[in-house]
C-alpha cells in the first residue's frame, strides 16, 4: 500500500486569485516545491484534489484546465517532483451554464476524488496527508479517513465552519507544514 500527500490546488499550490485558469495568473505558493520534494523523499505519492466549478460556471473549459494542469505538472517535473495525478471536480450543484451543473460525489467536502485515487493507486489513507485552505478540504479528508489533515490559514478559514480545530493541524503558512511530513 502506498501513502499519499493530497494537495488542494488554489491556495496551496498556487496563490488563490479566484478561478485561476491561465499560466500568467498561476503564481506558485512559497515553499510548495520544497514541501513536495520532502514528501517524495519520504515515500509519499503526490496528488492534486481540486474543485473547479469554474468549468460548470463556464469561465473556462475542461481542455483549458487540463492544459494548465499539464503545464503545472511539467514545472513540478523540472523541480524533480512527480505529480502522480490531478483529480478535479468540474461540477457545481446549482450555479452554472452547462451539463456540469449537477450534484456529484466528487466536489469537496465529498470524498469522491480521494476515494478514486485510493482505488487507482492503492493508497493507504490512514497513512496519508491532506493539505488544504478551506474547511471543505478538511471535511473531504475526514470523510475519506485521511489521518493527517492540515489547514493553511486563508480568507476562508475565518468563516463559520463545522470542522473541529482539535481534529486538524492549523498553520499560518504552507512552509510550516514540513514537520508534519513523517
**34 within 8 A of 175, measured Cβ to Cβ:** yes
Rounded to the nearest whole angstrom, what is the least distance from the CB of residue 89 to Mg ion in the complex?
12
Per-position x/- string for 84-123, each x denoting binding to Zn ion as judged by CB under 5 A, each - no binding? -----x-x------------x-xx----------------
Return the one option of Mg ion, Zn ion, none that residue 107 interacts with (CB less than 5 to 8 A, by type).
Zn ion
Residue 64 gets the label, from left (phi > 0), alpha (psi -120 to 50) or beta, of alpha
Which of 10/117 has CB closer to Mg ion? 10
Helix, strand or coil for residue 79?
coil
- Residue 168 beta carbon to Zn ion: minimum distance, rounded to whole angstroms: 23
Half-sphere exposure of 141 (CA within 13 A, CB side): 33
Binding site for Mg ion (CB under 5 A): 8, 10-11, 133
Residue 20 binds Zn ion, judged by CB under 5 A: no
**Helix 112-121 to helix 135-144 angle, to the nearest 10 degrees?**
50
Q: Which is nearer to Mg ion, 3 or 9 (CB)?
A: 9
Amino acid at each position: 500500500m502506498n501513502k499519499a500527500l493530497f494537495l488542494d490546488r488554489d491556495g496551496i499550490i498556487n496563490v488563490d486569485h479566484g478561478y485561476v485558469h491561465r499560466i500568467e495568473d498561476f503564481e506558485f505558493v512559497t515553499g510548495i516545491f520544497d514541501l513536495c520534494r520532502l514528501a517524495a523523499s519520504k515515500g509519499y505519492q503526490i496528488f492534486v484534489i481540486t474543485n473547479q466549478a469554474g468549468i460548470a460556471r463556464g469561465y473556462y473549459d475542461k481542455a483549458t484546465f487540463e492544459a494548465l494542469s499539464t503545464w503545472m505538472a511539467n514545472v513540478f517535473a523540472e523541480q524533480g517532483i512527480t505529480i502522480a495525478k490531478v483529480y478535479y471536480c468540474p461540477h457545481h450543484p446549482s450555479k452554472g451554464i452547462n451539463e456540469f451543473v449537477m450534484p456529484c460525489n466528487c466536489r469537496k467536502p465529498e470524498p469522491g476524488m480521494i476515494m478514486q485515487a485510493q482505488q487507482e493507486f492503492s493508497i493507504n489513507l490512514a497513512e496519508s496527508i491532506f493539505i488544504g485552505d478551506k474547511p471543505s478540504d478538511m471535511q473531504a479528508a475526514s470523510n475519506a479517513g485521511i489521518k493527517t489533515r492540515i489547514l493553511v490559514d486563508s480568507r476562508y478559514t475565518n468563516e463559520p465552519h463545522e470542522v473541529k480545530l482539535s481534529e486538524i493541524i492549523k498553520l499560518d503558512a504552507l512552509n510550516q507544514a514540513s514537520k508534519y511530513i513523517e
